[in-house]
Every structure is written in C-alpha cells, then in structure tokens.
Amino acid sequence: MAEKFDIVVIGSGPAGYVAAIKAAQLGMSVACVEQWVDDKNGAVLGGTCLNVGCIPSKALLDSSQKFVEARDSFALHGIGIGKPKIDVAAMQERKKKIVGQLTGGIAGLFKHNGVTVIQGRGKVVSGANVEVTDKDGNSRVVEAGDVIIAAGSEPVRIPPAPVDGESIVDSTGALEFSEVPKRLGVIGAGVIGLELGSVWGRLGAEVVLLEALDDFLPMMDVQIARETQKIFRKQGLDIRLGARVTGTELKKGKVEVTYDTAEGSHTETFDKLIVSVGRRPRSEELLASDCGVTLDERGFIYVNEFCATEAPHVYAVGDVVRGPMLAHKGSEEGVMVVERIAGKPAQLNYDCIPSVIYTHPEVAAVGKTEQELKADGVEYKAGVFPFAASGRALAANDTEGMVKILADAETDRILGCHIVGPSAADLTQQVVIAMEFGSSAEDLALMVFGHPTLSEAVHEAALAVDGHAIHVANRKRK
C-alpha cells in the first residue's frame, strides 16, 4: 500500500525545507524527498545553499576578509601581529563544520516537526503523486494531496570550458581548493564569480575575470555598478569585459584559455579556472510526460503569481521557477504556497525582494534601478550619500561606497535602494521594510537613527532625495 501524505516536497533546500516545516506547523502530514546522500546513505538536507552555495561561500568570504584585515588594517589600529599566514586546510575545516551544523539543524527541525525524510530522486507523476527512485534504482510511488517542487538549480556548463573537477571547476569545486592558486581565471563576473574571485584573490591569487557582456553587473543600478567595479579593480581583481571565452586546453597542469574581445583573440594561462556563467533550473527527469506540468524554453517550470503550475495540486517554488535565483525568495514562495493550500490568502511582494553580493564591500539592492525607471518613463528623484562622510564608517576604516535611494517624483514613495559599502545587506533590509509598508523617502528622513551608526547613511540618502542632507553637500535641483 502506497504511503500517503498531505504534502510531498521535492527538494530540501531553502525553498523545500522551509515549506515542509511550515506545512507541518499547520498540522499537515509532510514528506520531503531529497536525492543527495552522504557516505552512510542518509539524505543530505539543505540543498545547494547550505552544502555547496550560500553558506560555505560566506564562510570562506568571512575567513578571507579577516585575513585581509589582519594583513592590511590592523596596524592602522595600533595592533602589531607580524605577517599573517593562511592555513587553507583549517579554513576549509571551519567551513565544513558550519555546513554540518546547519544541515544537522534541519534534520533536527524535521524530526521536531514530524517531517518524514525520503531519500531518492523525486518525479511528479499523474494524479499529483511522486515517484521516488533511490540510489539503487528501486522505485515506489508516494501519494500526495499536494506536491511542492523545490528541486533547485545547478551550474550552467559551457562547451569551451568543460569542467573536469581538477583544473577546470564550477562553483562547487571552487569552494574546495586545498591551496591558493597562484593565478586564477574566472569565467563570468556576476555574483558567483565576484564572490569566489574575491575569496582567493584576498588570499594571494592573481585573479582575472573574463566577462562576455560589455557592461559590468548590468542588473544593478548603473551608478552603483560603476562604483563597485572601481572598488574591485582597486582591490586587484582584473575584470575584463566583452571577453568571450572560445576554448580551453590543459597543458602541463595549467589551463590555457582563449577568448575574443573587440580587439581580437587572446590567450591566458591559469593554475585553476572557475566556470561561473550562471545557474539553470534542475528540471530534467523531474516531470512525467503526462503529469500536466509544463516548462518554458529555458527549462523553468511555468507557474502563476502564486506558484501554482498548470497541473491541479502541483506547485513549484525557488530556483526552478521564474524570477531571481535567491534562497530567501524561494523560502518565502514555499511559505506562501503552504499557506494558500491551508486556505489562507497569502501572497508575495516580488517588488520587495532584496539581492546581495557578499564581497567586501557588500553590494545590495531592492526595487527599481535608475535605468529601469528611465526606460519605463517614471519621473523620479534620487538621493545619494557616500560612506566617506559617515563617522561610523570612518571609525571602522571602512568608507568605500555609497547609499542611493530612488523615489517617485510626485508621490515620494520609495521605488528602490542600492548600496555598495559596509553592511550593505543589512542596511538595504531597512529600506525593504519601508518599501513593504509603502513608505516615502520623507518617512525615512523623519525617523530617528542612532548615532554613530552605518544606518545614518540610509537616513542621509533619504534626506538627500529632496536636497536636505545634512552631512554632505546637496546637489542643486533644477
């Protein structure tokens, strides 16, 4: 007799495990299907984010940034420690422990909330049920009242640079280097490429990023993108735009990369090469042909604004559906779906989802960019405040970057916030809250911010929207 659950979730990443826990909290019987296994044949929970993505990369980013501070900044504070050394093995072991603690935490939460874990590859079949195939090829059908697909994403592969796991690696392999490469090539100067390039660049690698696009971070506000590029180049990252990789060749333990620019063909040799040209939805072998769920031309599962597919009782959330591939976006979609299944009128405000690049300084944004507003014909106002004018940033010797706030010219409603600078992720979240409540720039300007704090930069940028900034000269208005 087939197992039956109110909800079956496919995938235990941030979108999947959050949906499973939320459903259990609402009194539903829940199973979570996960295909990853450990060396004891147990399900590895947490998905890409916790195991080979967000969490391990941030652990390495924080470790490498502390190395840079010890090397370059401690003397400014009167702290003498001599020349610091990096122990890559110890750094990797710390990362491993953090990952283990968090993935183990999910297992504990599943047990506490009564979520059943089923190891195997899940496939949606007709009738909103799930066929689960274990690592030995044995299959069984699990009956579900509703199915939530949260299968996640995987790195995009490109023919000119086939990943071998040794000399040419994807983002997963780039987290596992046992030593700092002397010369590191990175294909792609997007979020992942910049973060991984920063980790190894801080530790001493000569890093060259080859970006096929002519514009740097085109999804970001253009003013912030330009400032960010300037900062990263100052840090030593060699960012080459309009550089399309055409081939790679392994020679004597090195990687020879050929790429084209407007000036012609070029060749560079690296000790290691990271391929980070984006991610694609993990939707292959996920859907039976007669299940009623459809894919778009890029492999994303088609859903409506509430993440419902075209098949009754089947939903999809996270990286397998439209929108930015962000862990927090997937988590909130999972919560929304579960609450709607429970009969609650839940929805998600996609205009208020922040995005972050966890370099140093951080780069974060929410809402519209200036170029998007211009393209849409929206009249707007902009306020900018540099961290160089922040007392708290000066005290911390962390003054690069700025806060930029965009507001509707007529209503003053906040339309976007873009930050490059210290604690940009946390500062942007303050504006996310304001935008969720429909606040105006004046609302932020009238609030009292603690002194001295980095948050005051947000306050001053809000004041600057109408030319009222106190701690920086205001631009003349026409």
Active-site positions? 451
Distance between CA atoms of residues 111 and 196, nearest Å: 34
Distance between CA atoms of residues 93 and 342, nearest Å: 42
Q: Encoding tokens for residue 287?
A: 């859907």
Candidates 47, 37, 41; CA nearest to 10 is 47
Distance between CA atoms of residues 166 and 273, nearest Å: 9
**From start to end of 212-361, where are the E strands?**
238-241, 244-251, 254-261, 264-270, 272-275, 279-281, 314-316, 355-357
Distance between CA atoms of residues 321 and 307, nearest Å: 8
What are the DSSP calls for 93-158, one per residue?
Answer: HHHHHHHHHHHHHHHHHHHHHTPEEEESEEEEETTTEEEEE-TTS-EEEEEEEEEEE---EEEPP-
Strand 380-386's sheet: what is its strand order?
Answer: 355-357, 362-367, 414-421, 402-408, 380-386
Strand 264-270's sheet: what is its strand order?
Answer: 244-251, 254-261, 264-270
CA dihedral 136, 176, 248, 211 (to 10 degrees): 110
∠ CA 354-95-174, rounded to 5°: 75
Distance between CA atoms of residues 308 and 303, nearest Å: 5
Q: Encoding tokens for residue 366?
A: 């929410």
Please answer whether residues 357 and 216 qualify as being in contact, where contact means their C-beta atoms are separated by less than 8 angstroms: no
Beta strands at 272-275 and 168-169: parallel, antiparallel or unpaired: parallel
Distance between CA atoms of residues 375 and 148, nearest Å: 36
Residue 163, SS3 per DSSP: coil
Distance between CA atoms of residues 59 and 49, nearest Å: 12
